[in-house]
Structure 1
Amino acid sequence: MEVDFLLIGQGLAGSILSYRLIKAGFKVCLVDDGSPASSSKVAAGLYNPVTGRKMVKTWQADILFDEIEAFYRELETVLNQNFLHPTGIYRPFISYEEQNEWLSKSADSQYDRYIGKIVREPGFPGVSDPFGGLLLKSSGYLDIKKMLESYRSWLLKRGSLIQGRFSEAQLTEDASGNWQFQIIRAPKLIFCNGIGVKDNSFFNWVPFTPVKGEILTVRQAFKSHEIINRGVFRIDLGNGIGKVGSTYNNREIDLEPTASGKREILDKLRQLVPIEVSSIIDHQVGIRPAMRDRRPVMGRHPKKENVFLFGGLGAKGVSLAPYFSKEMTEYLISGKEPQKEVNINRFFKYI
């Protein structure tokens, strides 16, 4: 079968980029083994315009957040599913100084689209917020697992997915520069399989810094229409169930849930929402495909003109993928180079 692009990996990066290419009129095929341990399937899927311990506007928020809801709503329509959940995020202040800082920022027009409300005194029952907090808008979460599963079914109906593990040993290049994998032949090959690129000869020099993250699903007598986020996030799933996370471990890169990870999450949850957790329903682990500089990576192989990489979305993948998949698509179609902060050429020194 002849296609225009062969993509390796059907996580968030591969799925969204392939949809962009299909929408642009190209034939694509993806190769993916459907691993349930994929970081995309485990991730909570938050999109949050103000992040980190210092509560700063996320990198390139203004261009990223122009794309997020419109893109996922379009995909919901195509797939006839509902997986996007626009939801306010409440971030308690840790001091009056922080409260005053955000009162000042609320007068700045660049924050208009993100600040829903400044809460100046304890205002959320069940939440530890003695100094009040910041209620964000233009935020929420994506049910990534549901999105990926429904998109997978859509690809299968189109005949655009090979279900199985990619092996470079099965990949060949003919005299015309076309790539052959099983029954698929394509002139261009794109790796979108996260840290899996470390196992191939094309991009094993790219300095991915994988990060292990653990997430709990808990039963707790607490209800909130907002995502509560400080130290950990808590997404209310209804019926007294919440998803809470996550840990950040760049030392032990495995898929084993740990007692220390569970303890860390529960301790931080207790500080944020001091209501007893009656039971733990699930304990999941994922390996985030993060980069050393915490920026995505995209572009062409330095020596193979028909081989590309798109990935490194890390913990902010839901926010990053819609915009940067568009930038990557423009590059693949017209040759317009990705911006320098995400361009793969920043890592050529590692070859």
Structure 2
Amino acid sequence: MDVDFLLIGQGLAGSILAYRLHCAGAKVYLVDDANPNSSSKVAAGLYNPITGRKMVKTWLADALFANIEPFYEELERALNQRFLYPTGIYRPFVSYEEQNEWIAKSADTQYDHYIDKVLSNPTFPGVNDSYGGLLLKSSGYVAIKPLLQAFKTWALDREILMLRRFSVDTRSRDHRGYWKFAHICARNLVFCNGVAAGTSPFFDWVPFTPVKGEILTVRQDFCAREIINRGVFRIDMGEGLGKVGSTYNNRELDLNPSLAGKKELLDKLSQLIPAGVQEITDHQVGIRPAIRDRRPVLGQHPSEKNVYLFGGLGAKGVSLAPFFSLQMRDFLISGKEPQKEVNINRFFKYI
């Protein structure tokens, strides 16, 4: 089978880019090793416009967040599956100074799309919010596992997905220069397989800095319509269950749930929501495909002109993928270069 693009990896990056290319009329095919511990399959899927300990507006927020909900709504219709959950995020303040700072920021029009309310008094029963907090809008989460399963079914129905470990080298070409893998001959290869792309002979020079992340599902006597987020996040799953995350560990990159990770999450949860945890019903681990400068990486291999990389989405994949998949699609089809902050050519000096 001849195809325009063979995409390696059916995680969030590969699935969304494949959908974009398919909608643009390209002939695409995916190969995926069905790794249950890929970062996409265990990620909580938050999209949050105000992030970090210092509570700052996330990078490129206006461009990114204009795409998030419209894109996932479109994808829900295409896949006939619900996975987008627009939900307010409540971020308790840690001081009166922080409270005053956000009261002032709320008058700034650049925050109009993201601030729902600035609360100066304790408002959420069961939450440690002595100084009040910031209630955000244009936020929520995407249930990534159902999304990926629905896309897998969509792709299998169209016979454009192979569940198999990918392996190819520079000799794997036919007389036309197409890449050969199994029964597929592809004009172009696009690596979308997270940290595994950095172990390929094509992209082993890209400075991936993988990060281990752990997430718990806990049972406790607490419920909230909003996502509670300070130090850790807690997404209410109903029936007394909450998803709590996440850790960031760039030293130990195994896929084993750790006692240290569990303790860190439970300690931070108890500071945020004092209600005790009655049971831990799940403990998941994934390796995030982060890049050293904490920006995605898009573009073409410097010498293999029909080999590409789309990755490095890290912990904010749900927010980054809709916007940057458009840039990658336009580059693959029209040759329009991605913006310099994410262009792979920023790393050519390391080859």
Q: Answer yes or no: same fold by TM over 0.5.
A: yes
Correspondence for 2:335: 335
Correspondence for 1:35: 35
Residue 264 of structure 1 aligns to a residue whose secondary structure is helix
Aligned residue identity for 2:6 = L
Question: 1: distance between equivalents of 2:198 and 2:16?
Answer: 21
Correspondence for 1:122: 122
Residue 2 of structure 2 aligns to a residue whose secondary structure is coil
1:146-170 per-position Cα deviation (integer Å, ceiling 9, x unaligned): 0000100000000000111112269
Correspondence for 1:14: 14
Quote the offset at 1:171 in angstroms. 7.2
Is the Cα contact below 8 Å between 1:91 and 1:133 reproduced in 2?
yes
Aligned residue identity for 2:342 = V
Matched, 1:54 2:54: yes
Residue 65 of structure 1 aligns to a residue whose secondary structure is helix
Correspondence for 1:325: 325
Correspondence for 2:251: 251
Closer, same or farther in 2 for the Cα pair 1:182/1:276, shift >3 Å? same
Is the Cα contact below 8 Å between 1:222 and 1:275 reproduced in 2?
yes
Quote the offset at 1:174 in angstroms. 2.3
Quote the offset at 1:175 in angstroms. 3.2
Structure 2 counterparts to residues 186-197 of structure 1, below 5 A: 186-197=186-197
Correspondence for 1:145: 145
- Aligned CA-pair RMSD: 0.9
Structure 2 counterparts to residues 1-351 of structure 1, below 5 A: 1-168=1-168, 172-351=172-351
Give structure 2 stretches of 5+ with no counterpart.
none
TM-score (norm 2): 0.99
Question: 2: distance between equivalents of 1:232 and 1:33?
Answer: 31
Identity of aligned pairs, percent?
A: 69
Question: 2: distance between equivalents of 1:173 and 1:203?
Answer: 18
Quote the offset at 1:2 in angstroms. 1.1
Aligned residue identity for 1:55 = M
Residue 295 of structure 2 aligns to a residue whose secondary structure is coil
Is the Cα contact below 8 Å between 1:171 and 1:181 reproduced in 2?
no
Is the Cα contact below 8 Å between 1:299 and 1:345 reproduced in 2?
yes
Quote the offset at 1:199 in angstroms. 2.1
Is the Cα contact below 8 Å between 1:90 and 1:134 reproduced in 2?
yes
Question: 1: distance between equivalents of 2:120 and 2:129?
Answer: 10
Is the Cα contact below 8 Å between 1:120 and 1:131 reproduced in 2?
yes
Quote the offset at 1:177 in angstroms. 1.8
Is the Cα contact below 8 Å between 1:217 and 1:283 reproduced in 2?
yes
Question: 1: distance between equivalents of 2:184 and 2:171?
Answer: 10
Aligned residues: 351
Residue 235 of structure 2 aligns to a residue whose secondary structure is strand
Question: 1: distance between equivalents of 2:178 and 2:110?
Answer: 47
Is the Cα contact below 8 Å between 1:84 and 1:143 reproduced in 2?
yes
1:216-237 per-position Cα deviation (integer Å, ceiling 9, x unaligned): 0000110100000000000000
Quote the offset at 1:198 in angstroms. 2.2
Question: 2: distance between equivalents of 1:216 and 1:210?
Answer: 20
Is the Cα contact below 8 Å between 1:298 and 1:310 reproduced in 2?
yes
Residue 81 of structure 1 aligns to a residue whose secondary structure is coil
Residue 298 of structure 2 aligns to a residue whose secondary structure is strand
Comparing 230-239 with 164-173, greater Cα deviation is found at 164-173
Question: 1: distance between equivalents of 2:52 and 2:192?
Answer: 26
Aligned residue identity for 2:249 = N
Question: 1: distance between equivalents of 2:252 and 2:350?
Answer: 24
Question: 2: distance between equivalents of 1:146 and 1:125?
Answer: 31
Aligned residue identity for 1:85 = Y
Question: 2: distance between equivalents of 1:33 and 1:197?
Answer: 13
1:219-268 per-position Cα deviation (integer Å, ceiling 9, x unaligned): 01101000000000000000000000110000001101000100000000
Give structure 1 stretches of 5+ with no counterpart.
none
Question: 1: distance between equivalents of 2:342 and 2:169?
Answer: 29
Question: 2: distance between equivalents of 1:200 and 1:177?
Answer: 19
Aligned residue identity for 2:64 = L
Is the Cα contact below 8 Å between 1:6 and 1:188 reproduced in 2?
yes
